[in-house]
Amino acid sequence: MSAPAAIPDTPTFVTHLECGMTGERLPADTLQNLSPKGWPILVRYDLAGVKAALTKELIAGRAPNWWRYRELLPVRRTENVVSLGEVMTPLIPLPRLARRLGVTAEVIVKDEGRLPTGSFKARGLALAVCMAKELGVEKMAMPTNGNAGAALAAYASRAGIETVVFCPDDTPAVNMNEIALQGARLYKVNGLINDCGKLVGEGKATAGWFDTSTLKEPYRIEGKKTMGLELAEQLGWEMPDAIFYPTGGGTGLIGMWKAFAELEAIGFIGSKRPKMIAVQASGCAPIVRAFEAGERHAKLWENAHTVAAGIRVPAAIGDFLILDAVRESGGFAIAVEDAAIEQALKDVATEEGLLLCPEGAATYAAYKQALGDGRVKKGDRVVLFNCATGLKYPMADGGKPLDRHGSIDYSKL
């Protein structure tokens, strides 16, 4: 498949890969899962070379998709780019709710639901599939709570790569149907996502698939990193005061923190950073518990449950990278009750006309909670990440029956 003409054919600047824990240097252009010590791997670039080659004006003249940041992405050859029509996702202010809360700065939603497959998982999985194609992978497998599996199925089918996906058997039906329809072999597992992940790992040698689980390959971070690159550009290369991010595996939070460091190194932004705020549900909050205990690793959360299935991740292999970013930024981790998530979803929909997914609604619930306890100020400009379109999730029945043949009192309608 040839890449869209709008994607720039530019030099790439990847120098090597690096263990996220030990800093051990690993060769680029070789297939990798975890580092030799068993930790997530990060991609490193010749940032001096990027600085010499790339300007804000050059980026501004390119097509409005994440491939405009090609110099800070790992794909070597343009023919290996796999695209489904990516867009720069919009920033949508919440002025009515801001007034209700009495805040004096913008409250902004970055709506990732506009991407292919309807979620921000498209970013990470697109890059993972591109690099799998470049490195000769023929079969990929992963565990999912829904949206990641859909993104893998779509992009891998586009690339001609076989996929096998495992999901908890209570995953929303629309997600499961989407995964299967887009070409993956889907298996519904009587367990949680970590149980599905064990199956992927156990079957790797026998089934011959590449393990594409969160942070078990280097490139999903690079895809999610584009959220930070894009946000910085959309805000005029100025950082917001805080970012509220729904956190399960945490790839996006890690990726954005990496993006901001790279942007400073190439001179696009200064040293100011937003507070990175990891949002979890009270029924599954391992990162919150570790943050509050001052620990660098998060223990497995037993009996995980929440209406926000996408952040129902009992254990994250990149926990230390999440917690490092949160602490280095001066941010925090916060848990919200399911009732608050459901109320937030309703408030944003009825007041602002924006239908969030439950995980995105959790960020608004967390913002209200943090505003109430003083951890964010009314003058802070904040960005809330809505990670998927609300149309992919179950909704309460709406409307009332009306008998068109009966007597209708229009004054009461």
What is the model's pLDDT at position 9? Answer: 66
- pTM (predicted TM-score): 0.93
What the chain holds in terms of domains, given with CATH numbers, is 91-117+218-390 (3.40.50.1100)
Q: Which two tokens stand for residue 145?
A: 């709570």
Q: Is 316 exposed, middle or buried (0-12, 13-18, 19+ CB in 10 A)?
A: buried
Average pLDDT for 240-267: 97
- The whole-number pLDDT of residue 2 equals 43
Kindly state the tokens that stand for 48: 């001096």
Residue 92, Cα to own-chain centre: how many angstroms? 18
The chain-wide mean pLDDT, for the chain, equals: 95
**Across 86-101, average pLDDT:** 97
Average pLDDT value for residue range 19-43: 95
Q: What does the DSSP 8-state code read for residue 148?
A: H
| Residue % of the chain over a pLDDT of 90 | 92
In angstroms, the CA 407 to CA 71 distance is 67
Q: How confident is the model at residue 7 (pLDDT cuts 50, 70, 90)?
A: low
Q: Which residues pair with 236 in a beta bridge?
A: none
Cα–Cα–Cα angle for 258, 8, 238, nearest 5°?
A: 40
Q: In what order do the strands lie in the sheet with 25-26?
A: 25-26, 14-19, 41-45
Crossing angle, helix 121-134 and helix 219-234, to 10 degrees? Answer: 130
What is the end-to-end Cα distance of the chain in Å, rounded? 55
Q: Which helix (H) or strand (E) holds 42?
A: strand 41-45
Distance CA 245, CA 363 (A): 6
Pull the structure tokens for residue 320: 């230390």
Structure tokens at 95: 């002025």
Tell which residue, 294, 295, 296, 260, has the closest CA to residue 275: 260
Specify the long-range contacts of residues 344-351, CB closer than 8 Å, at least 24 apart. 344/368, 345/390, 347/97, 348/94, 348/97, 348/109, 349/390, 351/94, 351/96, 351/97, 351/100
Residue 46: what pLDDT? 97
State pLDDT tens for residues 42-92: 999 999 999 999 999 999 999 999 999 999 999 999 999 999 999 999 999
Determine the pLDDT at residue 381. 98
Give the DSSP per-residue string, 313-331: -S--TTHHHHHHHHHHTT-
